[in-house]
A and B are shown apart, each in its own frame.
Chain A
Amino acid sequence: MSKIHVTTTVNGDPVEFLADPRDTLLDCLRDQLGLTGTKEGCGTGDCGACSVTVDGVLVCSCLVLGAEAQGKQIGTVEGIANGSELHPLQRKFIEHAALQCGFCTPGILVAAKALLEQNPDPTETEVRYWLAGNLCRCTGYDKIIRAVLDAGAEMRGAN
C-alpha cells in the first residue's frame, strides 16, 4: 500500500512524514517523528494516555489517523513548556506529587491544559469529569486533582 505524504505542524514546528493509511496519529508522532512523550495505554480511546490537541481540540491520538493531521496544528506534551520554563501545570504536578509512574502524566497534562484554557476556574467536580477519560492507576487521582486546581488558581493570579 503506498504511503501518504503528510505536512503538518507539531508544537509550532513544521514537520513532514510518510504515513501508512492505517497508521494512527499516535503511531506517526511516536515512530515517525520520535515524539515519544505521547503514550499508548490502550489504542482504543479508553485511557487518554495518547491525548493531544488538533487545532486546539483535545483528542485521543490513537483514534485519529496520521493522514488526518495534514495541514493541522498538533499540540503534544513536548510543547507544553516554554523552552526550559515549565508550564504552571507541570510545576504543580511535581510540587503536589501528582505523578508516580508518570505514564498517564503526559496525557493528563495535555487534557488539563485544554481544560484550563476554556475554563480557567473549574470546580473540583468539573476537573474530575473533564479528566474522566484519562486513566491513572497509581495515584487515585487525589493529588492530580489538587495539582490542576492549584495550577488554575496560580494562572488566574488567585494566590
Chain B
Amino acid sequence: MPKDDLKTGYRIVGTRPDRPDGLDKVTGRARYGADISAPGMLHAAVVRSPHAHARIIRIDASKALVLDGVKAVITRADFPTGLTGEDWNLQENTIAGDVALYDGHAVAAVAATSKLLAQDAARLIEVVYEVLPHVIDVDAAMQPDAPVIRAGTADHSVPEGMHPNVVKYIDFGHGDLEAGFAAADLVRAQTYKTEATHQGYIEPHACLGQMGADGKGEMWVCTQGQWYIRRMCSAVLGTDASQLRVTPSEIGGGFGGKTTIFMEPLALALSRKAGGRPVKLVMSRAEVLRATGPTASASMDVKLGMKADGTLTAAQVNFRMQGGAFIGSSPVGEALSCALACYTIPAVHHEGYEVLANRPKAAAYRAPGSPMAAFAVESLLDEMCRELGLDPLAVRLKNAAREGAKASYGPTYNRIGLVETLEATMAHANLKVPLGPNQGRGVASGFWFNHGGETSVSLAIGEDGTVTVSVGTPDIGGSRASLGMMTAETLGIPYEAVRVNIVETGALGVNEPTHGSRATFASGLAAVEAAKQAIKTMCARAAAEWGIDADAVEWIDGAAAPAGPNAGKFPPMSIAEIGAKMGSTGGPISGHHEVTAGGFGASFGAHVVDVEVDPETGRTTVLRYLVVQDAGRAIHPAYVEGQYHGGAVQGIGWALNEEYVYGADGRLQNTVFLDYRIPVASDLPMIDTVIVEVPNPGHPYGVRGVGETGITPPLPALANAIAAATGARLRSLPMSPPKVLAAIKAKANGQG
C-alpha cells in the first residue's frame, strides 16, 4: 500500500500499550450501570404491554399502592403534555399514552424499597386494554388493508396516495439510468429481506436517578452519551437540561443502542414522586430485547447493469424499512447512501420508504442501514459475477470508488482507501487455501461514513508535569487509550503520564455520544488541539522566563526550547519544570478545544469468508474469516483489530442466526439469549485481520473511524460463500440451518 504520505517516526502512535481501564476491568472493580447504590435508594420495576397494539382503557394501581414499602407509581399522566417532534416520540416510547404501540411498550412504573417488592407491586398494577389490529412485517405494513398505526405521522416527503404507515420517502441519484442499463450486457434484479436484530450488548440498560421537586437531579447511567441522556430526559420530563447532572458509568457495550433513552426518565419521574429518593432501574434481558434497540427490518429491491468485462453501467435500489412505530427511527437514508458507495457507476438511482410497524423504536446499530444495503447489493453483484464467470474481487476493484470520483450519494470523494483495501485482500494468503467438498468462499466489501459532531475536550497540566484529559465520549472500544496516546504523542511525554477521564455533563461543554465511529476521531482531534493550546502557553511561560519572544520558543520532546541559535542559549525547560512553577508564572495551565468536527474520513473494508455447509442439516460452519479495512491510521493497532473482530462477528451472527421472531399475536417470541442466539466462542475460528492505512487528510494523525464498517460485509460475504458451497442462493436473513436446507432442497428440485 502506498505509505509515502504517512508521517513516520511516531513514538507512541502505532504501539500497543495496556489500556488504562484494564486493571479495573479484570479485577471486577470497574463500575457499570447497575453497580452503584445510594443511601435511601428505591428500586423500580416497569409494567409493559403484552400486546402489539392496544388502547389503554384504564390503569389501576390501588392494589400496588397499599403495599408497605411501595413509594410511587407513575403513568403517562405524570409527564408533561404538548411535546412535539422527536421529543414527543421519546416521551411516547418511554411510557405509552393512549395506545401501547408494541409488545413490551412501558405503560406504568413503580418504585419500592426492594427489587422484589417493586416486581411484586408491578404485577398488582391492573391495566385494561382494548386490543387493536397490528402489523409487524414491513411489506405488509404498506399494503392497503394494513392497520393504520398513527394517522398523520407522514412528513412532507411522502407522495400522495401512499398508505398512512409510509411516513418518509427519499430519492436521489444521478446519470441516465435508461442509457446505463441499455449499455449493459447483463441486467439482473432481485429482492432481499433482512429481519431486525438487536445490538446485543451484554450489559442491560441500568441507571440510578434522583430528582427533587425543584427539578434538580442527578443520574448515573450506562450510556454512549451523557449529554444526550441529559437533553432527552429533560425534554421528556419538562425540566431544564442544566439542572440535571449525568455521570456515565463504565459501559458494557452499546453499538449504537445506548445513544438514546429508553427508561431513564422513569427513574427520575419516580424519584420526583417519591420525595426525591434515588431510584435504581435495571432492565432484564427480556426487557432489553422487547423494548430497546433493535435495528430496522428491511425489504429491498436491487437492479444492476454490468458489461461482460464486469464494468457496472447502472444501478437502481428501492428499500423499504420499518423502525418501529415512530417516524425517523429507521436508517433508510443511511442505507441508501451506503448502498452503492463502494462503486463508481455512471447512473445510479436510490429510492427509500420508511414505514411504521408495531415494533419497538429502532435505535442505531453499528453502521446503521449499511449492512442490510450491502447484503442486497453485494449479493446481486456476486450472482452476476458468477453468471459472467468473473472474479468477484477483480470486479470490485475494477469498479471501485476512488479519490476524485463522484460518490453514489453525490459529492466527490477525497482520499479514500478502497483500492488499497481490495489490493491487500487479493494478495492475502487466505485466498489461496484450497477448498474441499461442501465448502465455499465468499467476498464482499462495505462502507461507513465517519461522523464528526459536537466535541469538547479539556486538558490540564499537573504540578508535576503529568496531564489530565477530560473527554465527553464514553470509552467503549479503548478510546481512553487511543486519546491518551495521541495526547502524549503531541505533548512529547510518556503515555503513562496522561490520564484520560470520561467526565459528567457539568465538566465540559456539550458532547455528542460515542457514535458514528467518532470517539478516537473527533475527541482525538480535539485532544490534539487542546494539547497544542497548552503547548503554546507553556512556550510563552518559558519565553517570559528567558526574556525572549514567545515565537522564538519551540516545543520538542516534552520541553520548551529556544528555536534556533538566534533565540538565545537556554537549556530546554521540561513540562515538569513548567508545571512545578506555573502558580507563580501566571496560573494553572490548561488547553481546551471545542468544535463541531466535520471531516469525512470514510472507511472501506473487504471481507473473505470460507464456509462449510452440512448438506444434511443446512448448518453453516465458518472455517476461515478475513477482515481487511482502512483505518486511516491505527493509533492502537490491537484495539483496531478488536473493532474488526467484533464487527465481523456481529455481522456473522446477523447473517446466520440472529432475528426477531414474532408470533401471529405480534408478540416477540425470542426474549432470552437462548433463543436470540448471538455467536458463541465455539461457533467461530480466529478472525484474520489486515489493517490498511490510507491516512484521513481531515485528522491530525490521519484517523478514520473504524468501529462500524466491519459489520457490513459479513452479511453478503456469507450469502456468497453459502451460494458457492451449495449452489443455493439465499436472499433473506438469517441463513439459519432450516432455511439453508430448504434452499439446498429447492435447488436439487430444480427451483433454485
Contact = CB atoms under 8 A, between A and B. Distances in A.
Q: Do chains A and B touch in the complex (CB under 8 A)?
A: yes
Contacts of A30: 34-35
Most chain A beta carbons < 10 A, residue from B22, B251, B478, B679: B22
Which size class do A's interface residues fall under?
35 or more
Contacts of A144: 681
A82 to B, nearest CB: 12
Contacts of A36: 28, 31-32, 34-35
A140 B649 contact: yes
Interface residues of B, number: 60
A31 B255 CA distance: 28
A97 B646 CA distance: 12
Interface in B457-491: 476-478
A136 interface: yes
Given A22-B116, A138-B477, A101 B253 contact: yes
B222 to A, nearest CB: 9
Contacts of B544: none
Contacts of A37: 27-29
B751 interface: no
A41 B32 CA distance: 12
A109 B203 CA distance: 17
A100 B25 CA distance: 9
Contacts, number: 185
A133 B250 CA distance: 23
Interface in B638-660: 638-639, 641-642, 645-646, 648-650
Contacts of A94: 18-19, 22-23, 26
A38 interface: yes
B28 A46 contact: no
A97 B673 contact: no
B364 to A, nearest CB: 15
Contacts of A42: 285, 672-673
Interface string A59-96: 00000000000000000111011000010001001111
A122 interface: no
B305 interface: no
Contact of B32 (A20, A23, A103, A137): A103
Contacts of A44: 285, 672-674
Interface of A: 20, 22-23, 27, 30-31, 35-44, 46-47, 49, 76-78, 80-81, 86, 90, 93-97, 99-106, 109, 124-125, 127-129, 131-146
7 contacts: A40-B282, A41-B285, A44-B672, A94-B18, A95-B18, A102-B24, A138-B646
Given A86-B26, A99-B26, A141-B649, 4 more contacts: A94-B26, A100-B646, A137-B255, A140-B646
Interface of B: 16, 18-19, 21-32, 34-35, 37, 114-116, 199-204, 250-255, 282, 284-285, 476-478, 638-639, 641-642, 645-646, 648-650, 672-674, 678-684, 686-687
